Amino acid sequence: MDKRNRFFIFILTIGVFGILNTEMGIVGILPLIADHFHISVSKAGLLVSLFALAVAISGPTLPLLFSGINRKKAMLLVLGVFVLGNIVSIFASNFTILLLARVIPAFLHPVYVTIALTAAAASVSKEDAPKATSKVFMGVTGGLVLGAPVSSFIASTTSLEMAMLFYTIVNAIAFIAIFLFVPSIPVKERLSYGSQLSILKKSIIWLSIVGVIFINAAMYGVSSFLAEYLETITNAPGKSISLMLFLFGGASIIGNIVAGKLLTRNALKSVASFPFVLATVYIILFLMGQFTVPMALILFVFGIVVALGNNISQYWITSAAPEAPEFSNGLFLASANLGVTAGTSVGGLFISGMGTQYVVLGGFLFLILSVVFILMRTYMYSPTKQLS
């Protein structure tokens, strides 16, 4: 992989980070948004759940429709819409405008991410393709887990508007970099819609999709409310919350390294054991979450586990349909975000009905369901087929 390819992949990764940061960064400032617009935290959670629902709806369709369009033009369109949406968010006068400014760009989210993964793989040799896509996927994980602490830190030290300005700047940098440094990327070999859609005939795909939905619901149904948990259960001050969320995000770097090694060594065992590892984290979180020092250690482990879960989710779907990588990546994004929608919605219900500490019960519910579908795929398909 030469310097030009590394620079190209780096630019793609910045764009992915900007888009995912826009999606999940809001998690770190949900309590502030609730106070600013005089609404409940569970209602503010719609900024996460409806964004994710929009991605889930468009994930299987828009990447398919954009598959014949010049990839540079498509990426610029997506980033341009995200920049405009973030600018509107800064000046939103009410919660409805803020919600619309987030949800409308969300529909284009899967277009950029699937193009970035495909373009990165196509820019290098087949041997280097996994390495290239893993770098782009680092942007996905980085946005998912670093967005919240960065937003929380900026908002707590400056203002809510400055946190949203950060989203705007990151997406604008990616837009300018792609405009100036990325050459035109016309589509040379386009798979037909029919050949890509045919993977939906495979039952292994549907078992994988449902399993990934439940895995992500289990993760983000709890992690989306970490700022609220730290504020009300741990009783941590604003700056401490920011630092603890940074710890959670920084642990994702270790999580990605661990995920790469585990999935290479024994993918099936890694996937099957994941729900039990996350369940252990939730038990400790429930029992020790009111203590600051244990909570910091829990968040560090939680960050590693969430990064592992993101990698496992992407692997679980793309390994079921390697013949259609772009479409299967779109299905992964749709499934993951549908899981985020379900998880945050159910998590909000547990908070409203029982209190913030009991948000982990929603996580347990989805973990049980994920185990069922992981075991179904494992039982119905041999390891050879799963890794083919």
The token duo for 311 is 């990698």
Residues 211-226, mean pLDDT to the nearest whole number: 91
Position 385 scores a pLDDT of 47
More confident residue, 307 or 143: 307
Average pLDDT, the chain: 85
- Other CB atoms within 10 Å distance of the CB of residue 111: 27
Per-residue confidence (pLDDT) for residue 98, from 0 to 100: 94
At residue 132, the pLDDT reads 75
Residue with tokens 């968040």: 299
Q: Cα(370)–Cα(276) distance, rounded to whole angstroms?
A: 10
Question: What is the dihedral angle through the alpha carbons of 158, 20, 270, 134, rounded to the nearest 10 degrees?
Answer: -110
Given this model, what pLDDT does residue 59 score? Answer: 82
Lowest-pLDDT range of 114-118, 194-198, 206-210, 274-278: 194-198
Q: Which DSSP helix (H) or strand (E) runs through 81?
A: helix 71-90
Both tokens of residue 160?
């809510």
Banded pLDDT at 265 (limits 50, 70, 90):
confident
**Average pLDDT of 305-326?**
84
pLDDT of 388 above 50:
no
CA distance 55 to 341: 10
- Kindly state the tokens that stand for 67: 């598959």
Considering Cα of 34, then 36, then 39, then 43, what sign does the dihedral take?
negative
What fold does the segment set 3-386 form as a domain?
Answer: Growth Hormone; Chain: A; (1.20.1250)
Alpha-carbon gap, residue 317 to 338, rounded angstroms:
14
Residue 386 has pLDDT above 60, yes or no: no
Cα(289)–Cα(277) distance, integer angstroms: 17
* Length, in residues, of the chain: 388
Q: Which of 1-5, 68-72, 81-85, 149-153 has the highest mean pLDDT?
A: 81-85
The yes-or-no verdict on residue 161 having pLDDT over 70 is yes
- Check pLDDT > 90 for residue 366: yes
Q: Of 93-102, 125-134, 138-147, 349-358, where does mean pLDDT reach its minimum?
A: 125-134
